[in-house]
Structures are given as C-alpha cells and as structure tokens.
Structure 1
Amino acid sequence: MNPAYPFSAVVGLDDLKLALVLNAVSPRAGGVLVRGEKGTAKSTIVRALAAQLPPVAVVAGCRFHCDPAAPDPGCPDGPHEPDAAWVRRPASLVELPVGASEDRLAGSLDLERALTEGVKAFEPGLLAAAHRGVLYVDEVNLLHDHLVDLLLDAAALGVCYVERETVSVRHAARFLLVGTMNPEEGELRPQLLDRFGLTVEVRATREPGERAEVVRRRFAFDADPEGFAARWAPEEAALAERIARARAALPAVRLPDARLRQITAVCAGFEVDGLRADLVTAHAAVAHAAWQGRDVVTREDVRVAARLALPHRRRRDPFDAPGLDERLLDDLLDQTEPDGPDDPDDPDDREGPGRPEGPDGPGGPPADGSQSDGSQPGGPAAPSHEISGEGGGGPASDASPGDGEPASRSGDAAPHDSAPEDVAAVGAPFRVPVLRVSGVGEGAAGRRSSGRGRHGRAIGARLPGGAGPRAIDLPSTLLAAAPHQVLRGRRGPGLILRRDDLREPVREGREGNLVLFVVDASGSMGARRRMTAVKTAVLSLLLDAYQRRDKVGLVVFRGRGATVALPPTSSVEAGAARLRALPTGGRTPLAEGLATAAEVLRVERMRDPDRRPLLVVVTDGRATSGGDVTRAATALAGVTSVVVDCESGPVRLGLAGTLALRLGARVLPLESLGDLVSKRRKAG
C-alpha cells in the first residue's frame, strides 16, 4: 500500500493547513469545512492530516475506542474495569461515502446473528469507528438529508443513539468533522453548515511558478511514493512533534477577559446567529496561541480565529457568497483593543498586532512551515498534491450567462441580435407557492414531490426485485418465514430462512426534482421594471428549489436562438449568479427556447432516469421569430409544466394561456406568485 501524500509537501493553501492544524491541536475548534473548485488538493490534504495526529490509547477489544483513563460508562462493550488492558493505536480516519445508508452510519442490528443464533447483537457503524478520530465527508453538500440529520445529532451531543429493530443503544461519538465540497454542485443546509467550526475557501494558485512546483512534486510522488515520503519525513516528524507540544501546552493557555470581550464584540459586530460562533472563535484563538508557543491569547490569535470561524456564519441568504470583510474585522478589533497589555510579562502583547504569525520572530516562517513561494524550508523540491489528478481548471465565470456552454440551437448565430442590451436589477426574493410533479416517483430524496425509495415513512413491505432487497423489513421477513419452520425442520434457536421469505420495506416520502427554467429575455420583456419583477420571481423559485433539494437548469431565449445558461446542477447559487447577469433585448424565439428545453430534458433523462422534471416557462407568450411553437411544445408532452404569465397592462392577448394549453401546463400570473402564499395564510 502506497503512503499518503505528505502534509508538508502540499504547496501553498496556508489557511487550510492552519485550520486543520488548529483542530489537531484542539478538537474543540469544531471541525473544518473546505470549500473550493475541483483539483485543489482538498481531499489529499485532509487524508494527510490523519498521519500527523498523535496516537490514542484505547481499551483493548472495545469496538467503540473508549479512553482507558475515562471510559464511557454507557459503552455497549462495557463496563470497563479501571485497570483494563489498553493499547495505543493511530488516530482513525473514517470516510463517509455520500451514498451510505443510515445503518452504515449509525449502526444496526446484526441481522446474521439475529436470524441464525436468535440473539440481539449490535453492529457498530461509522460514527463508532470515528470516535476520538476524524470523520471525513467528501462532497458533504451532496449528502442525503437523513444522513445530515444523523450527523447533526451526533455532532451536537457527542453521542449516537440507535433505536431500531428492537435494538436500543447509545455510545460516545466525539470526532473531528472535516468536509470538502465544490460549491458548484450545491450548497449545504444551514444547520449542518453551522456545525463546522472553521471554514476555508481554496482556489488553485494563478502564479505560474507555484503551479510548476505543484506539477514537479506530483510527478515525483507518482514515480516513487515511498522515496518521496522518505524525503519529506523530517518535515512530517517536526510537524507532528509541534502539534503534540501544542496539545500539551493547550491547558495552560489563558484567555484574558479583555480578549473574550473582544471576541464577543467581533461576533456581535458581524451579526452572526446564536452563540456557537463565540465559542468556536474562543477555542480557535486558544489553539492558535498554543500553536504559536504562547501562554496567553493575543489580538493576532483573535484575528486569525475570527477569519476562520465567521465567514460561513455571516450569510443572511442562501445565495450570499461566504466571506468576511477584513477591514470591518480590523475596525472591530481596534475599537475593542484593551488599553494595556493582557500580561505585562508577555512579549507578544508588548510587540502588538504587527508581530509576524510565525513563532520564530521577525522574518520567521508561517505557522504551517511553508514559504511564500510554496517551498518548505530544508525540504526537497518535488511535486505537490495540489492537482491530484482532478484537473486544474476552475469553474467558468458567472459574469455572463452561457460562458463555456453550448452556444445556440441556431448554429453559429449569436443568441441575440443587434438590439441594445439591458441588465435589470433583481429584487428581494419572496415565498412562492409549492409546485409539485403529479404522481409518485422514485427519484433522489428531497422535499418537493411524492416519492418512494430508501427513505421516508414505511407504508408496507414487498418482495424484492431481481437485484435482491435494498434493505430488510425484519417484521415482514419473520412473519413470512414463521409458518414454515416446522416443515423446514427447525430445532433450537434461530430461524431457517429462504430467499423467498425476504421482504423489503416500501417507504413513501418526498423526492427532489429537476426544475428547468425557460426564461424569455427578449425585448418584449425588456421594460426595466417588468424584467426586474421577472428576475425576482425566478430568483424566488430558485430559492424554493434550493430549500427542496432540487437540481436546477436555466435556458434563456432571445434574439435568434436559445442558450443553456446553466446545465442541470445542484448549485442553485450558480443559477442565481447567471440570472442576475442576464441581459435582455432582441426578438422572441419562443420555439427555440422550448426545443432547447426538450433537448436538455432528453439528455438529463439518460443521465438520471429516476429524477422527474418540472418545467417552468417564464414568458408573455409572444413569438416574434423562430420556428413552429406547436411542434416544439409537442416534444414536451408528458412533462409537468408551469407557465408564468409575464404579460402586463390593461389590454392582454392571453398568449401565455394558449402556450399553456399546448403544453398541458398550469398558468400562474407573474403578479400572483407572492399573493397566492399570503392568501393561503389568511384562509388558514
């Protein structure tokens, strides 16, 4: 088995290294969320961190990794004697797959022993394996809601409760939660986002010299992993020793009351919700002081902690980009700076906030040991993991819709004509009525339409399909097998089962859909006030799709053709960005817009056949250029559709209603989207 890529050999990414190290020093820092584009070493640097964590002592034979010095009194493998044998092992790194089941995460009844030996036995899950270690979730934003709920409970309580199939178990589950995500693929639920103590935004460097060093080191590692790891072993050993020293010094670090008031003032100044931000910032500041070799928290420790703990907590809207105004941070720190030093004997306080972050004094290296040019002091120049074979390109810019996407259905023609363009503003989003796909589907779990799958409320049981059961419905399986035990010659405990006894549960809940927006951006929609209302309505529908865990896509038609401004994706944020920059003007090729939508749905049906589409056409119904609207609408037969009628004024032609008849769609006047919700509230 090849060694992991060395932590010290990763080029740059200083903030990410520091956030991970602070959590290694103090698990109370609350974990790390790593946001960034593909190919930026997110996964590899997290896996490399595990090798730097100090080993832990565990009770021998305990499946739940109890600390022999303070064993869990409720451990299912306990109670453990005070003098129980123990062993020392490396800190665990447990990876949670996006498609894992609840049983795999939390644990469940050991079905094999239950059915063959007639005993109740608990099989631990990944939360038990991660206790006192690292739980790593790659693509954490793609986790299903049921897994997110389990993680929320365990992260908040430090305990995992399992109540299912006649098994009632609780065990300790305290772990360092590290998640990585690409924001292009969708955002996190706010509840889970707040559970991450620190967050870091990473991007691939645009400096050619650093990029070249990344490639050199990666080549050297791929050619000789053992030799590469050996060359970086001194730096890795020094880093591990420094983490261990900081951990040992952590209890002695003081947080003066003046610095605590400074932390709370900064959190209040950024208007973050709740008090978790204050706690996390305080723990991170103490950890940073220990990492720097100080025994008292200073202004610089507070500043570093706030930069890592607050960006993801100051978001007021799902479409707000995370970030922190560092000028405001410095102003808040200046306003709350104590008059005198926290500790007259502490040289760090006397030197003030201008002191370099490194512990070696002026001119010393940064805290993570890296140089500004990406090299390590005394370390070999060989390739870094930063590209990790994932590709080095960043996402297409959101500055203009359609960048990097198929140009138009009308060949090489531009999607607009020579008419002047105008970009209307977008208002504040509002609540919209719930739009659902009729019938019951079997798509991915979500919150929009009725669906059957692995999650939801159990409404019955059935024989499994040809691939075998996806899960076992234990009561139904036992009931099916019980009448045949005498004929099968059962003797003693346990049941004699056959394949035709197995039953799987039928669960009904909610599924997510593909919401495809087809937006008319032609000149007939170009009055600034009118297009602002249209954009605001579509943004409100996008927000509703975000909350209901849908995939979204955006087709825009204007001029001489239609453009796929946003291919189907889980990143509603990207859709909002394209919508804000959407220009208007030109003629109205309605048929091309519908034909492009039909093609997008055809391709997506092949990629994800279980996800049912919901088509939302936003138009006034006019068609001043292009092909036959009736033929284009026929290609969308059978797709659940909604036409948002944008026609305004005292005299209306009703063209959107005619289009809705052709599509078999429901018609919603643009001005009624917000009114429908308020009327339902009053009626209720």
Structure 2
Amino acid sequence: MSTPYPFTALVGQTDLRLALLLNAVSPAVGGVLVRGEKGTAKSTAVRALSTLLPQVDVVPGCRFSCAPTAPDPACPDGPHEPGPATARPARMVELPVGASEDRLVGALDIERALAEGVKAFEPGLLADAHRGILYVDEVNLLHDHLIDLLLDAAAMGASYVEREGVSVRHAARFLLVGTMNPEEGELRPQLLDRFGLTVEVAASREPLQRVEVVRRRLAYEDDPAGFAGRWSADEEEVRARVVAARELLPQVRLGDTSLLQIAATCAGFEVDGMRADIVMARTATALAAWAGRTEVRKEDVRQAALLALPHRRRRNPFDAPGLDEEKLDRILDGFPDDEPEPEPEPEPEPEGPGEGPQDDGPDGGGPDGGGGVPPQGSAPDAPEAEPEAPAEPEQRPETQPSAQESEAAAGPAEQAPVRAAEPFRTKMLSVPGLGEGASGRRSRARTAHGRTTGAQRPRGQLTKLHLAATVHAAAPHQKARGRTGRGLVVRKDDLRQATREGREGNLVLFLVDASGSMAARQRMSAVKGAVLSLLLDAYQRRDKVGLITFRGSSAELALPPTSSVDAAATRLENLPTGGRTPLAAGLLKAHEVLRIERLRDPSRRPLLVVVTDGRATSAGSVGGDPRELSARSARLLAAGGVASVVVDCESGPVRLGLAGALAADLGGPAVTLDGLRADSLAGLVKNVRTPSPTLRRAA
C-alpha cells in the first residue's frame, strides 16, 4: 500500500481542511461537498484525512464492522457473542462513478433465496464504509438513483436491500465526502442540501505558494515514506486533537443566544426547510470543541454559516453558490455580544518541520498537485487582484436593414454581445423512439428504474426479478423435477429479468446563428433568452449540452459537449454577432461533433436544436450555392438519424419561410420563438417525425 500524503503537509486550503476536520470531530455534521477546479488538492486532502481518524474496535469476523460494546441487533452476521475486540484503522472507501446499485448497497442471491430459502447477502461499499469515510470523486457525474441511495443511507445511518420480498438491513454510518468540478455539471438542489457542509477551492495565484506546492509535491514523489516521516509529529498532534475534541463534544453548550443567531441567519438567507439550522448548530458545536471550548460563541456561528449555507440559499439555477458576508455580519451584529473576549485559539494545523510556509495548495500538496491560500500565521490575506477587464469594443452605429433584409456583401460589422432576455419555461423536446442512455428526464428509454414493461432472460447477474414470468417459466417443469412439497422448484434457466422503461438524458447540441441578419432587428436578445430557457430545461432534465455558433465564413464549437449547463450559459451570454450566414458550415460542424460524440458515448442519443432565421448567404471555404449546400448538409444529418428541431427566428410582416424549409430537410419540426413557450406550444413532441431507420436501429 502506498504511503498517503500527510494531511498537515497540505498547503493552504484552510476551509477545506477545517470542514474535513469538523466532520472527523462530529460525523453528525453530515459530510462535506468540495467544489473546485481540477488540480486543487480535493482528492489528496480527503485521502490524507483517513490517516488522522482514530482506530475503531470491531467484532472479530463481522463483515459489517459492528462495535463490540454496541453491536447492531439487525446485523446480518449477528447475533454477536461477547468477546475480545479487534482494533483496526478507520477505512476510506471510494465509490467509483460507474458503480452499480448492487456494488453500492450489496447483492442478494435471488436464485438461492427462491430455491433454498437462504438469505445469501454479499455486502456492498456502504457496509465497508461503516464507521469510516465514504469518498465519492466527481459526485456530480454519479447516476441519480445511486446518489439517492447513498444520501438516504447517510441520513438514516442504515442501508436497506429489498429484492422480491427478501430484505436485509445493516448499519451504515460514515463520513460522506464528495468532490466535484462545477465545469462538468451541477448537483440537483435537493441533493446539495443533503451534504452538511460545502467548500469552494481554487488554486493560489501567489507565486511563492505555488512554488511551495511544487517543492513538497516533488519531495513526496522522490521519497514518500521519508516525506511522511518528516510530518509524523504534526500528524500525531492533529490526531490527538481530533480525539480530544471528540471527547469534549458532549460537554459543549449551545446557548439560547447562539440558537437565535442560527435561526436568524437561516431565516435571513431564506433557506428552505430546517436542515440548515440543524447542520449549523452541529457545526458550531464542533467548532467550539475543536477550539477546546465548552461554549459556542458568535464567531463559531459565523464560521458555521459560511460552511453550511452557501449551497442552501435560494438562487437561480445558473448562479454559483456563495454567501454575502456583509449581510451575514449585519444579521449577527443585531445580537448583543455579551460573551467574554475570545482567547487566542491554536492554529487549525501545526507548523510544518521547516519546509517553507505552512500552506497548502491544491493537489500540489499531494498526488493531485495544486495551489492554496496564503500561509498560516502570515499577514492577513490581501485581496487578490482581479484581472483587468478587456476594453469594450468600439460601438458603431447600428446598421439598419433594408425592407427585404438582405445582408450586404460583407455583412454588418461585428457587434458587442447583448444581454439575454428573461428566460421562460419551454415545452419539452424529446428524441423519438426508445433509447438506452444514461438516466435522465427527457426521452423514453429502457432503464434500471421505472415502470415494468416486460421480462427477459438475465444478461449476467440477476438484479430485478420478474416474479410472474419466473413462475410461468418454471411451472411446466415441476413434475419432471420431482416436486413433492408446496414449494416451487426453480432453476437458473427459469429466472427472468424485469425490463423497465423510464427516461434518459440526451445530448442537446445547440446550433446558434450569430450572423448579421440575426442582429439586424435586434433579435439576438430574444434568441439568447430562448436558448437560455432551453439550457435551463436541459439542466433540469440532466442532459449534456454543447454549443456551436456560426457567422462570417465559418462555424465554431463554442462549448464541446459537457454536463456543465452553467458553462454553456456563460458562453451564450458573451456571444458576439455580425457577418454573413454560413449555415452549411454550422450544419457540417454539428455533423462532425455528433459523429465524434457517438463514438465516445454511443448510448446517449442526440437532439440538435438549430436556432436561425434560415438564411444562408455564405458557402464558407467550400464554395458553391449557399442554399443548396445548406440543404445537402441538413439532409446529411437527417440520414444519420439525428433528431432535430428548428427554432425559427424570422420576424416581420414578410416571411420567407426559410427556417421551415430547413426543418423539412432535417426531418424535424420548426417552431417560432413565441411558440417555444410551454403555455403556447402544443403538440410539438407529437410533430417530431418518425426517426430514420438508422435512428430506429440505434434505439
């Protein structure tokens, strides 16, 4: 086993280390969600924490880590007889993003349960993590049903496995830690709320700290054991402090004043429900114990709010989590400060053994590399200098179109980005047919969860038994199998797996016309508002999204397909307009992007949303008639089985109907900007044409 990177050797990341240590002191806080860019010590810090946890006493031979002094009465390996205990280190169990439900909660042998009446249960990762740490890297990429199971177990302290009337329950109390890169997509708000604390991490922009990160990283790689040995005294000191804080925790008093401060803070930030109040109370208590005090103070409540509320406050879907600290101070200042002056508190981390500033960065502190915040014990942090804003492009008088709205030879000059109009609720667009992609909320698909539609022979391990079909398959053979009693003689060939239908997430690729004809009537604000509304819909339906824009003589992949709808919204907001309309180039770019994505993720079906007025005035670098090229490019996409929808942006008293013609070539419907609204758009999904044979075979 490789030597883990020392927790105390991390550079900076004060909030991250504090949040992890508070959960080590009081697991009832509810875990930590760590958000940040790649290479910021997220994984390194979590793995390093496991070495600081005290050893646990377990019943010898128990697969579920029961405590000898208070064994779980429902333990599948029980009942346990009194006897000597076995001490072992606290485990850190990692949950892979691609794990199955049975790997997480455990698996029942359905065949033995039916044929022999035996509960043969194989524990899962939740059982392994009991009384330790369960770490989920890239938790935002985990399937929704796995997250539901995971968080339910974390909330109840137990895991339940139910299979056709056979049930198993075992204790599952663990410190839940999730890490995620927001650029790859957000968690649903109700799932965010289930994490006790959240912290934002970022790489330091201070050169000296980055140097120290690299120095420690290289020293660790050259001699992991020797590097860890130089920090062993500091590790032991923090380990002892965690134990002392755990012992002090029951004696910490949370007074009425502190409870009022917590309640006023949660009410002031309009958080939903009461979980925030409870988490803040537990966090403030743990902070006092960590500081060696038995009384919660105002600074504990303030720090608890900064850790427990940013991901719980009400916000728009594309707003980043955060907390207004000035507002927080105003709320807390409304309470009399009748507590004694706080004594100097020990540093959250001991000073290192002379290896430069005691600060740690991102994964630079460990195998992941990174940067951090200014060294502890140094002067107060100076505010980071923000990059100088680029100069605004010179505003030119807006070019007014002619009555026919034909573009000039060179097209209008590029215009500065315009703000998107207010988003609205859109009608659902979906891909025809039946898919088998990742779980989501858009198109029909065969899924592991949903309504039962039939039965089939299992492929591999049986997970969802179709009882009626199994009995039907076994019944004709009972006499030949020598059945004598009341039980049914069931063999492996009789078992049938239930097939279920639910919803899948799709790849929604936006192809947005940013040419001069779109900006001439100042329509881009409305267009951006419509695309933003569709992005919001994609966020809620758990889709991947991509963004292609075309103007001038070419098309650009502004955002490769990603789960981060926030990133797409940002790129859309900064989208400039102007120039000719290379519609064919945009369609060909979409064809290329979808071809590559089909190789990367063949089970995720695409939906192409083309936002344009249908004009084609440039053939780009190909040459030829722009309209003919556009029609051929659209038919190429249709032949590839790509489901498409055209959002017609043409307006005015005279309409050319070019977007409708484009929709016909693509084999999909056309809808106006106004018709895209849910309250005015009727039957759009029904109008999506039957997919091509290629799409049927893919479904």
- Within 5 A, what are the aligned runs for 1:24-43? 24-43=24-43
Q: Which residue of 1 aligns with 2:692?
A: none
Q: Which residue of 1 aligns with 2:589?
A: 596
Preserved contact between residue 369 and residue 376 of structure 1 (Cα < 8 Å): no
Q: Which residue of 2 aligns with 1:520?
A: 513
1:86 to partner: Cα distance: 3.0
TM-score normalised to structure 1 length? 0.86
- Within 5 A, what are the aligned runs for 1:157-172? 157-172=156-171
Match of 1:18, as an amino acid? L
1:495 to partner: Cα distance: 7.3
Alpha-carbon distance in 2 for matches of 1:678, 1:417: 33
Alpha-carbon distance in 1 for matches of 2:456, 2:350: 59
Matched, 1:271 2:270: yes
1:678 to partner: Cα distance: 8.0
Q: Which residue of 2 aligns with 1:340?
A: 338
Match of 2:125, as an amino acid? L
Matched, 1:533 2:526: yes
User: Kindly tell me: are residues 20 and 374 of structure 1, through their superposed partners in 2, closer, same or farther at Cα, counting changes over 3 Å?
Assistant: farther
Q: Which residue of 1 aligns with 2:563?
A: 570
Q: Which residue of 2 aligns with 1:643?
A: 646
Alpha-carbon distance in 1 for matches of 2:289, 2:450: 47
Report Cα offsets for 1:347-376 as digits up to 9, x if no partner: xx324xxx76xx24xxxxx313368x9946
When structure 1 is superposed on structure 2, of 283-292 and 169-178 the one drifting more is: 169-178
Alignment counterpart, residue 369 of structure 1, candidates 350, 369, 374: 350
1:186 to partner: Cα distance: 0.9
Q: Which residue of 2 aligns with 1:204?
A: 203
1:320 to partner: Cα distance: 0.8
1:296 to partner: Cα distance: 1.1
Q: Which residue of 1 aligns with 2:367?
A: 388
Alpha-carbon distance in 2 for matches of 1:616, 1:162: 42
Alpha-carbon distance in 1 for matches of 2:258, 2:572: 43
User: Kindly tell me: are residues 334 and 383 of structure 1, through their superposed partners in 2, closer, same or farther at Cα, counting changes over 3 Å?
Assistant: closer
User: Kindly tell me: are residues 391 and 368 of structure 1, through their superposed partners in 2, closer, same or farther at Cα, counting changes over 3 Å?
Assistant: closer
Alignment counterpart, residue 432 of structure 1, candidates 411, 416, 426: 426
When structure 1 is superposed on structure 2, of 547-556 and 212-221 the one drifting more is: 212-221
1:384 to partner: Cα distance: 6.9
Q: Which residue of 2 aligns with 1:667?
A: 670
Preserved contact between residue 591 and residue 637 of structure 2 (Cα < 8 Å): yes
Match of 1:6, as an amino acid? P
Preserved contact between residue 39 and residue 362 of structure 2 (Cα < 8 Å): no
Alpha-carbon distance in 1 for matches of 2:77, 2:657: 71
- Within 5 A, what are the aligned runs for 1:545-564? 545-564=538-557
Match of 2:632, as an amino acid? R
Q: Which residue of 1 aligns with 2:341?
A: 350
Alpha-carbon distance in 2 for matches of 1:132, 1:632: 59
Preserved contact between residue 453 and residue 499 of structure 2 (Cα < 8 Å): yes
Aligned to 1:419, what secondary structure does the other structure show? coil
Preserved contact between residue 215 and residue 387 of structure 1 (Cα < 8 Å): no
Structure 1 vs Structure 2: percent identity of aligned residues? 65
Report Cα offsets for 1:300-336 as digits up to 9, x if no partner: 2112111111111124222111111222222222223
Structure 2 gap ranges (5+): 373-386, 391-409, 620-625, 684-699
Aligned to 1:162, what secondary structure does the other structure show? strand
1:162 to partner: Cα distance: 2.0
1:564 to partner: Cα distance: 0.6
Preserved contact between residue 477 and residue 503 of structure 1 (Cα < 8 Å): yes
Q: Which residue of 2 aligns with 1:422?
A: 416
Alignment counterpart, residue 509 of structure 1, candidates 502, 512, 515: 502
Preserved contact between residue 438 and residue 504 of structure 2 (Cα < 8 Å): yes
1:503 to partner: Cα distance: 4.7
- Within 5 A, what are the aligned runs for 1:22-421? 22-80=22-80, 83-111=82-110, 113-114=112-113, 118-336=117-335, 338-341=336-339, 349-351=340-342, 359-360=345-346, 366-369=347-350, 375=356, 385-386=364-365, 388-389=367-368, 419-421=413-415
Aligned to 1:51, what secondary structure does the other structure show? helix
User: Kindly tell me: are residues 480 and 133 of structure 1, through their superposed partners in 2, closer, same or farther at Cα, counting changes over 3 Å?
Assistant: same
Alpha-carbon distance in 1 for matches of 2:289, 2:250: 9
1:87 to partner: Cα distance: 2.7
Alpha-carbon distance in 1 for matches of 2:357, 2:483: 69
When structure 1 is superposed on structure 2, of 509-518 and 225-234 the one drifting more is: 225-234
Alpha-carbon distance in 2 for matches of 1:422, 1:169: 62
Aligned to 2:97, what secondary structure does the other structure show? coil
Aligned to 1:452, what secondary structure does the other structure show? strand
1:456 to partner: Cα distance: 3.1
Alpha-carbon distance in 1 for matches of 2:475, 2:556: 61
Preserved contact between residue 43 and residue 363 of structure 2 (Cα < 8 Å): no
Alpha-carbon distance in 1 for matches of 2:478, 2:678: 63
Aligned to 1:350, what secondary structure does the other structure show? coil
1:47 to partner: Cα distance: 1.2
1:603 to partner: Cα distance: 0.9
Match of 1:335, as an amino acid? G
1:505 to partner: Cα distance: 3.7
Preserved contact between residue 215 and residue 384 of structure 1 (Cα < 8 Å): no
Alpha-carbon distance in 2 for matches of 1:178, 1:376: 27
When structure 1 is superposed on structure 2, of 473-482 and 302-311 the one drifting more is: 473-482
- Within 5 A, what are the aligned runs for 1:451-462? 451-462=445-456
Alpha-carbon distance in 2 for matches of 1:453, 1:675: 27
Preserved contact between residue 141 and residue 186 of structure 1 (Cα < 8 Å): yes
Aligned to 1:643, what secondary structure does the other structure show? strand
Matched, 1:586 2:586: no
Alpha-carbon distance in 1 for matches of 2:367, 2:99: 24
User: Kindly tell me: are residues 217 and 478 of structure 1, through their superposed partners in 2, closer, same or farther at Cα, counting changes over 3 Å?
Assistant: farther
Q: Which residue of 1 aligns with 2:635?
A: 634
Alpha-carbon distance in 2 for matches of 1:601, 1:392: 36
Preserved contact between residue 608 and residue 643 of structure 2 (Cα < 8 Å): yes
User: Kindly tell me: are residues 635 and 489 of structure 1, through their superposed partners in 2, closer, same or farther at Cα, counting changes over 3 Å?
Assistant: same
Aligned to 1:526, what secondary structure does the other structure show? helix
Alpha-carbon distance in 2 for matches of 1:213, 1:112: 58
Q: Which residue of 2 aligns with 1:20?
A: 20
Report Cα offsets for 1:419-445 as digits up to 9, x if no partner: 131222123322111111001111111
User: Kindly tell me: are residues 387 and 127 of structure 1, through their superposed partners in 2, closer, same or farther at Cα, counting changes over 3 Å?
Assistant: closer
Match of 2:511, as an amino acid? V
User: Kindly tell me: are residues 274 and 286 of structure 1, through their superposed partners in 2, closer, same or farther at Cα, counting changes over 3 Å?
Assistant: same
1:48 to partner: Cα distance: 1.2
Aligned to 1:312, what secondary structure does the other structure show? coil
Alpha-carbon distance in 1 for matches of 2:169, 2:276: 28
Aligned to 2:193, what secondary structure does the other structure show? helix
Q: Which residue of 1 aligns with 2:440?
A: 446
User: Kindly tell me: are residues 586 and 573 of structure 1, through their superposed partners in 2, closer, same or farther at Cα, counting changes over 3 Å?
Assistant: same
Q: Which residue of 2 aligns with 1:410?
A: none
User: Kindly tell me: are residues 543 and 300 of structure 1, through their superposed partners in 2, closer, same or farther at Cα, counting changes over 3 Å?
Assistant: same
Alpha-carbon distance in 1 for matches of 2:417, 2:337: 51
Alpha-carbon distance in 2 for matches of 1:528, 1:9: 59
Preserved contact between residue 216 and residue 384 of structure 1 (Cα < 8 Å): no
Alpha-carbon distance in 2 for matches of 1:382, 1:37: 12
Match of 1:600, as an amino acid? V
Structure 1 gap ranges (5+): 342-348, 361-365, 401-415
Preserved contact between residue 621 and residue 656 of structure 1 (Cα < 8 Å): yes
Alpha-carbon distance in 2 for matches of 1:374, 1:281: 36
User: Kindly tell me: are residues 488 and 223 of structure 1, through their superposed partners in 2, closer, same or farther at Cα, counting changes over 3 Å?
Assistant: farther
Preserved contact between residue 39 and residue 388 of structure 1 (Cα < 8 Å): no
User: Kindly tell me: are residues 35 and 616 of structure 1, through their superposed partners in 2, closer, same or farther at Cα, counting changes over 3 Å?
Assistant: same
Q: Which residue of 1 aligns with 2:402?
A: none
Preserved contact between residue 9 and residue 376 of structure 1 (Cα < 8 Å): no
Q: Which residue of 1 aligns with 2:697?
A: none
Q: Which residue of 2 aligns with 1:403?
A: none
Alpha-carbon distance in 2 for matches of 1:388, 1:485: 60
Match of 1:160, as an amino acid? S
Alignment counterpart, residue 601 of structure 2, candidates 602, 608, 615: 608
Aligned to 1:618, what secondary structure does the other structure show? strand
TM-score normalised to structure 2 length? 0.84
1:339 to partner: Cα distance: 4.4
Preserved contact between residue 54 and residue 91 of structure 1 (Cα < 8 Å): yes
Match of 2:657, as an amino acid? G
Q: Which residue of 2 aligns with 1:413?
A: none
